[in-house]
């Protein structure tokens, strides 16, 4: 199987290395363990003759024209991690050239995968319009505002949609690589995961920092602060809107636009976040922690954590 790893200038070092290590390990284990799976022939390609990683290391890329026709193209993340430098980077000429190539691949039916901030490159080129996708959790507000035609699901670490697949933050590059291996051999993917000690991570929810996301909008930031102060008791949307001198409709609309959540969903996120912190740092029982985060009993809290985080 021909896999083109498209490396842009300033590529995220660990993301690029993770993809390459997973695919090379798959080839080695398939041969060593006698697993029937296609060999992954990986071509490191660039739209410029010289590419350096975010940490300044030279990446030995080949021109796209010299690479065999790909069955799959993987786009690792680029280096900028915060909104302003990322938006500036998306205007670079090499990214425009990469988008043109990816559009050609999409038209030809080639499988395309991107992880972390690489998902912004796909979305910038319109490749994700009308598709389900995920992205790095801390840039969700920017992604929603910039690409409203993408059906974003930031809770998930991996989202396949047609011939496209996107992965979440940073080290979800490994999830993307394992997904590709799994399409051809679930047995080989399981072996690679065990040799590289990769745990199952179905959701980004456990890693999200709600306070970081809240700072994307002044009203949401005030709602976040007010809610945290009242988590120990039942909270009504009417009361919150009055305290913030706004309407329920405005509050709901802003949360949906920026975070893609309802007020109730965001309150539940904060309760789950505080409950997890208390479970890790206190000697309280589950029932006592449930009281401290506004629930009547531990049964309700257990159900919330399982629904939000995928664990009990």
Q: Are residues 138 and 6 in the same domain?
A: yes
Which letter does DSSP use for residue 156 in this model? B
Q: Are residues 228 and 199 in the same domain?
A: no
Q: Are residues 66 and 108 in the same domain?
A: yes
**pLDDT at residue number 280:** 87
Q: Are residues 197 and 270 in the same domain?
A: no
**pLDDT at residue number 224:** 87
Q: Are residues 16 and 105 in the same domain?
A: yes
pLDDT in tens, 179-236: 999 999 999 999 999 999 887 766 676 666 666 677 778 898 899 889 988 999 999 9
Mean pLDDT for 92-103 is 97
**pLDDT at residue number 260:** 82
**pLDDT at residue number 76:** 97
**pLDDT at residue number 198:** 87
Q: Which stretch of 17-26, 235-244, 267-276 has the lowest confidence by average pLDDT?
A: 267-276
Domain containing residue 230: 209-309
Final residue of a domain: which of 157, 186, 206? Answer: 206
pLDDT at 156 over 70: yes
Of these ranges, 70-74, 170-174, 249-253, the one predicted with the greatest mean pLDDT is 70-74
Could you tell me which of 126, 214, 199, 115 has the C-alpha nearest to residue 157? 115
pLDDT at 310 over 80: no
Mean pLDDT for 100-121 is 97
Mean pLDDT for 259-277 is 88
Q: Are residues 121 and 246 in the same domain?
A: no
Contact 216, 277 (CB under 8 A): no
Q: What is the CATH number of the domain that holds 241?
A: 1.10.10.60
Q: Are residues 200 and 164 in the same domain?
A: yes
pLDDT at 114 over 90: yes
Final residue of a domain: which of 176, 206, 236? Answer: 206
Q: What is the CATH number of the domain that holds 166?
A: 3.40.50.880
Final residue of a domain: which of 190, 206, 222? Answer: 206
Q: Are residues 71 and 141 in the same domain?
A: yes
pLDDT in tens, 7-39: 999 999 999 999 999 999 999 999 999 998 999
Q: Are residues 56 and 183 in the same domain?
A: yes
**pLDDT at residue number 258:** 81
**pLDDT at residue number 263:** 92
pLDDT at 247 over 70: yes
Structure tokens of 219? Answer: 């009203």
**pLDDT at residue number 214:** 72
Q: Are residues 154 and 26 in the same domain?
A: yes
pLDDT at 64 over 90: yes
Mean pLDDT for 249-274 is 88
Which letter does DSSP use for residue 68 in this model? P
**pLDDT at residue number 209:** 64
**pLDDT at residue number 206:** 62
pLDDT at 171 over 80: yes
Q: What percent of the chain has pLDDT over 90?
A: 74
Q: Are residues 117 and 152 in the same domain?
A: yes
Mean pLDDT for 57-77 is 96
Q: Are residues 102 and 230 in the same domain?
A: no
Work out how many domains the chain is built from and give that number.
2
Give the per-residue SS3 of the chain.
Answer: CEEEEECCCCECHHHHHHHHHHHHHHHHHHHHHCCCCCCCEEEEEECCCCEEECCCCEECCEEHHHCCCCCEEEECCECCCCHHHHHHHCCCHHHHHHHHHHHHHHHCCCEEEEECCHHHHHHHCCCCCCCEECCCHHHHHHHHHHCCCCEECCCECEEEECCEEEECCHHHHHHHHHHHHHHHCHHHHHHHHHHCCCCCCCECHHHCCHHHHHCCCHHHHHHHHHHHHCCCCCCCHHHHHHHCCCCHHHHHHHHHHHHCCCHHHHHHHHHHHHHHHHHHHCCCCHHHHHHHCCCCCHHHHHHHHHHHHCCC
pLDDT at 6 over 90: yes
């Amino acid at each position: 199987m021909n896999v083109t790893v498209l490396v842009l200038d300033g590529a995220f070092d660990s993301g690029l290395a993770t993809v390459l290590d997973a695919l090379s390990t798959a080839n080695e284990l398939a041969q060593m363990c006698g697993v029937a799976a296609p060999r992954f022939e990986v071509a490191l390609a660039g739209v410029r003759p010289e590419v350096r990683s975010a940490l300044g290391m030279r990446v030995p890329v080949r021109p796209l024209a010299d690479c065999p026709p790909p069955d799959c193209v993987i786009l690792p993340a680029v280096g900028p991690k915060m909104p302003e430098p990322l938006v500036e980077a998306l205007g670079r000429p090499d990214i425009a050239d990469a988008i043109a190539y990816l559009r050609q691949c999409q038209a030809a039916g080639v499988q395309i995968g991107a992880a972390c901030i690489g998902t912004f490159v796909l979305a910038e080129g319109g490749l994700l319009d009308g598709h389900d996708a995920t992205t790095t959790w801390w840039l969700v507000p920017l992604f929603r505002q910039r690409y409203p035609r993408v059906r974003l699901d930031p809770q998930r670490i991996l989202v396949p949609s047609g011939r496209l697949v996107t992965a979440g933050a940073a080290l979800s590059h490994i999830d993307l690589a394992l997904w590709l291996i799994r399409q051809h051999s679930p047995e080989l993917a399981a072996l690679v995961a065990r040799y590289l000690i990769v745990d199952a991570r179905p959701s980004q929810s456990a890693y999200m920092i709600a306070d970081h996301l809240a700072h994307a909008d002044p009203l949401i930031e005030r709602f976040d602060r007010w809610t945290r102060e009242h988590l120990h008791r039942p909270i009504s949307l009417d009361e919150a809107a009055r305290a913030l001198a706004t309407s329920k409709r405005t509050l709901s609309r802003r949360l949906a636009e920026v975070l893609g959540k309802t007020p109730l969903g965001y309150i539940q996120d904060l309760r789950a976040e505080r409950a997890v912190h208390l479970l890790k740092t206190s000697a309280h029982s589950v029932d006592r922690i449930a009281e401290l985060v506004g629930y009547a009993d531990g049964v309700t809290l257990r159900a919330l954590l399982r629904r939000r985080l995928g664990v009990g």
